[in-house]
Chain A
């Protein structure tokens, strides 16, 4: 019997996603609306190559505060996450963690701004809370996968705490340390972006410099930021951690806003209660009817259009990220480039993945005007660089037969087929991350859910904002579940997750 050619489930899934992304692209708004997009781009590029490190005396302080927020937020998140990982078998803890990590740091910051104002507590909690949820999940998975064989040889009657300390913890400790470092890198990015909502970190100065067209200052800020991230393993040493924490506590501007307990109570008992209920004297039929109108208006006018745009953008960005990752990984692979070429590739990928999506999107938005295009390019570049880096590193251990082909043949026949599953696993893993980020880009003026959330906060309607944040979180949890189902179906697995 003649064999019939049939595509593999992996290829079929990829093609379906590609088709969905193209369909989304057909209805998405990707126009360039600025009058002179390329002249501005030229000025930016010129600025990038002429960094001015002395443009403002705030530059040093911006960086110190960015690091301080990151260190405190990640340290607290790490500690809470570790404790939660120990009780992760509880359903309540699992659901709670899924929920807090489904809400982006910037949304947390917007919420805490209502409660604590511009106090450092806002920035610290905005990082610590979602990170605790992420770290709890990852640590629980690491513990789950740890070597359990030593348990059988432990003498009967040993206390659970002793067994945990001697048998469970030592094996996972190195993984915890590695992951904490990775989280700190993420924390630095998150901290930088918090400046866009008014906290005194990098983003704040970046936005100011951009508004004034001071591109040389933008360049200096970004270059120093990359240096901090790239040198993290040099300056972040365990014995120094208490020192860093202490310094961070000391440098943060605690006087920036007074924490008022009445404010906190008001937020929870009044601000977030839907407006019709808050203003009704009694909960009667009329109040409920008003509540229904409130809900309907939010759902039809904001939630549904916001969710549609969020999903459109997510799908396009997801597929574009995958395609860029396929193009990027050879740049750092010893199978394709020599030492010199690879160094250039590494610098390129480090720069692109160290720049938060939010900042990339902000830059492109200034150049091209508000549409989905800046967001798509920013998300695809950042995520493509992250996945490209991970997959590229993976090729370092790939053993090929010595008579393997070269160039494009090697790429298409030997290398890509071997790592495509791994690449898809990383990509689907980042699906939820991309969605979370897409929603947040709305703050920049793209009509995703973040746009409506930011507007609601700006109009002092925290009840609406909170409702929309809840909805965004649910969307996130839904996409996460779908991604997990697809990964399971295609038997895709990543090694320890890369957040």
Chain B
């Protein structure tokens, strides 16, 4: 059964076309990697997906979309802002509620942020901020996770931690990725873009980064 369906979709900004006639269908539970050179249209395609499934999807934007003045705890909590009443949210903002701390601590711990839980995000490194943004998306109770380069600011070891925890979440996942080796390792399917068109769409089984070389115009 297909969860998201794009048919000959086009998109662009200010009359400047970025995506041309993209047709894609994403099934439930699939883990899809979008690859391609920068400017190929990965972010635009991701945005298009997000618009389609907004109510059911969590997003890790390229710029993280974190509230710098708030702590890691509060930023992750934002992922479930829609699940509680304003009063409970307000109470938790003034002083973290124990039940919420208990719920969020494991998410932060898995991403190596436990010690930073109550530090404000503005004081963290780029990699820690990125992990906080992923934490927020994981904590969000939606069945789809969309990520725009969610491992761009971390080293390979941390990238694996992030990608593993995303994979373990059992969500339908669509990630724009730069690193083709990691993309192949943690996805079931690779969609490659070039100049705003889908040029490649295959399952990952047995594929190596070398197979993707031509897409980058090697």
Contact = CB atoms under 8 A, between A and B. Distances in A.
B202 interface: no
Contact of B63 (A149, A156, A163): A149
B81 A162 contact: yes
B68 A153 contact: no
B20 interface: no
A170 B80 contact: no
Nearest to B89: A162
A212 interface: no
A147 interface: yes
Contact of B93 (A147, A154, A166): A166
Nearest to B63: A149
Interface in B60-75: 60-61, 63-70, 74
Q: How large is the interface on B (under 10, 10 to 19, 20 to 34, 35 or more residues)?
A: 20 to 34
A134 B89 CA distance: 31
Interface of B: 54-55, 58-61, 63-70, 74, 77-86, 89-90, 93, 133, 136-137, 140, 142
A435 to B, nearest CB: 37
Nearest to B92: A166
Interface residues of A, number: 22
A171 B81 contact: no
Contacts, number: 79
A154 B69 contact: no
Interface of A: 147, 149-159, 161-163, 165-167, 170-171, 173-174
6 contacts: A153-B58, A155-B83, A156-B55, A162-B89, A166-B81, A166-B89
A446 B59 CA distance: 64
A375 B60 CA distance: 59
Contact of B58 (A155, A158, A170): A155
A195 B68 CA distance: 44
A170 B65 contact: no
B140 A162 contact: no
A167 B67 contact: yes
B142 A153 contact: no
Binding site secondary structure of chain A: helix
Contacts of B65: 149-153
B68 A166 contact: no
A150 B69 contact: no
A20 to B, nearest CB: 42
Contacts of A156: 54-55, 82
Contacts of A170: 67-70, 74
Contacts of A161: 86, 89
Contact of B61 (A152, A165, A166, A167): A152
Contacts of A162: 81-82, 84, 86, 89-90
B81 A154 contact: yes
B53 to A, nearest CB: 10
A163 B81 contact: yes
Contacts of B89: 161-162, 165-166
Given A155-B81, A157-B55, A162-B81, A173 B63 contact: no
A151 B59 CA distance: 11
Nearest to B120: A170
A158 B142 CA distance: 13
A155 B86 contact: no
Nearest to A173: B69
Nearest to A157: B82
Contacts of B90: 162, 165
Q: 7 tightest A-B contacts by CB?
A: A153-B65, A170-B69, A158-B82, A158-B81, A157-B82, A161-B86, A162-B89
A153 B69 contact: no
